[in-house]
Amino acid sequence: MSIGAAPGDLRHLSLRAARAGADAIRQARHRGFQTVHKGGAAQDPVTTADHASERAILDLLARDRPQDAVLAEESGLSAGCSGLRWIVDPLDGTLNFSHGASRYAVSIAVAAGCDVGDGEGRVVAATILQPASGACLVLDADGAHDGDATVAVNRDAVPEHALVAFAVPNAPGPRRRAYQALVGLAPRVADLRNSGSTVCDLAAVACGELDAFVSFDPAAWDVAAGTALVEAGGGVSRRWRRDGQTVFATGAPAVVAALADWLGTDHVDDEEGNDDEQR
């Protein structure tokens, strides 16, 4: 797989990294934090808690896996030589966090086969940890786990009874186009949901609490870990182009197929299993 990397070791380190980030977030919550807005966009804040979490995670990875590449939301891509890439969202749901809401999470994924250029690779380890509740999903050799319990997608879900989570871009133009697409989708499913955290929504799909998730122009750090967990629990993933945007969907097979049909079928990639969903 790579230099000195056993799958079990990577899974354990992904959990340790998520816990380090969660601890930093809790400390920032206790001590107080500051918020700024990226590019002045109110929908896209970043806090000192985001930076503290990312710093704790990257420090741990630098000590334990210095040869690996890292793609992190706040600091971007750092090169490696092992063929492994860590994909880090240190605090997804920052707007929720900054308003005192509980739906936010740390997301850690490890992709193998990233030796050439910006190759996407395949996720071999992943952890999602929600600091407020302590809920934690881990990708293991035999599926997705919440502690000792195996979790699974609601594979039998049908579109007309489906609960579908969604996420839209922050930029005004793409955001408007995404909402226009969702207006047509809403009458065809049981309901649309948006928790304010893509990572939390993906965790809910992996556990069968939601039936599918659809996003417009998602970043790799938003979806890498969650997609792997959904697919490990029996879900499928697709992405395609619509109105100049990449649309990504994952979840129950019939629901994802319907989303692809309703929201456009010009597919650029169809995926099943544990393939990484980076862009």
Residues annotated within a binding site for Mg(2+): 73, 89, 91-92, 222
With b for 16 or more beta-carbon neighbours within 10 A and e for fewer, the 230-254 pattern comes to bbbbbbbbbbbebeebebbbbbbbb
User: By C-alpha distance, which of 263, 219, 257 is closest to 242?
Assistant: 263
> Alpha-carbon distance 111 to 103, whole Å?
25
Residues comprising the binding site? 73, 89, 91-92, 222
**What is the residue whose two structure tokens read 């079928």?**
265
> Alpha-carbon distance 206 to 123, whole Å?
15
> Alpha-carbon distance 263 to 249, whole Å?
10
Residue 112, beta-bridge partner list: 84, 122
Radius of gyration over every alpha carbon of the chain, rounded to an integer in angstroms: 18
Q: Which long-range contacts (CB under 8 A, 24 or more apart) does 29-34 make?
A: 29/97, 33/98
223, 224, 226, 229: CA torsion to nearest 10: 150
> Alpha-carbon distance 32 to 245, whole Å?
37
